[in-house]
Amino acid sequence: MIFTVAIDGPAAAGKGTIGRTLAARFGFAHLDTGLLYRAVGAKGGDPLAAARSLVPADLERGDLRSQEAGQAASRVAAIPEVRAALAAFQKDFARREGGAVLDGRDIGTVICPEAEVKLYITASAEVRAHRRWLEVGGDEAKVLAEVRERDARDMGRADAPLRPAGDALQLDTSEMSIDEAVAKAVSAVEARLG
């Protein structure tokens, strides 16, 4: 069975948690596409060369969840050639046998416009910054400024800007528990699976 769940949204909205939970629940493979961009940014040097030479081991680096890696990912993701170099990998993963869940910024709009289920997970910048601050610590005001900066870059880039697909189910997790958000996502998948 080929079945794709495309999850988009800004940083710290809950995409990864929902994506991992859906994959486990339905036995689908999961890809956090942000890790691809984080790995490219973390490799340093020429971003296009880094994207073209990416290997699975690069996704295992311990520093990929850091705030610095997230900022680097957002910068390299704005480069059209880097996005193109990583697109084929993502598209192949999405249409693999057995089902797949991909979460990122342009999955439902660019990578998998044919996905059987599209979700757009969001939350206010303040809520997302607080969540990120709980993960990484530091100065919470600085984390909020970085979240807003990243949102502006992700939503304002010329190539594949972050936006919901027209047919995506939009979930604002600002006031939702993770269980509530997951339940809505599970219902959307179950409805399409029949």
Q: Which residues are annotated binding-site positions for ATP?
A: 9-17
Q: Which residues contact 140 (CB under 8 A, 6 or more apart)?
A: 129, 130, 133
What pLDDT score was predicted for residue 54? 87
∠116-117-123 over CA atoms, to 5°?
160
Q: Is the pLDDT of residue 30 over 90?
A: yes
Strand ranges of the sheet holding 169-172, from the earlier edge strand across to the other edge: 29-32, 100-104, 4-8, 117-122, 169-172
Cα separation, 26 vs 106, whole angstroms: 23
Which top CATH class is 4-193?
A: alpha beta
What pLDDT score was predicted for residue 74? 85
Q: Which residues are annotated binding-site positions?
A: 9-17
- Compute the average pLDDT of residues 25-32: 95
**pTM recorded for the entire structure:** 0.86
Over residues 76-87, the pLDDT tens digits come to 988 999 989 999
Is residue 108 within 8 Å of 164, Cβ to Cβ? yes
What pLDDT score was predicted for residue 39? 94
User: Which of 131, 12, 140, 4 lies closest to 70, judged by CA?
Assistant: 12
Q: How confident is the model at residue 187 (pLDDT cuts 50, 70, 90)?
A: very high
Domains of the chain, residue spans: 4-193
∠130-174-37 over CA atoms, to 5°?
65
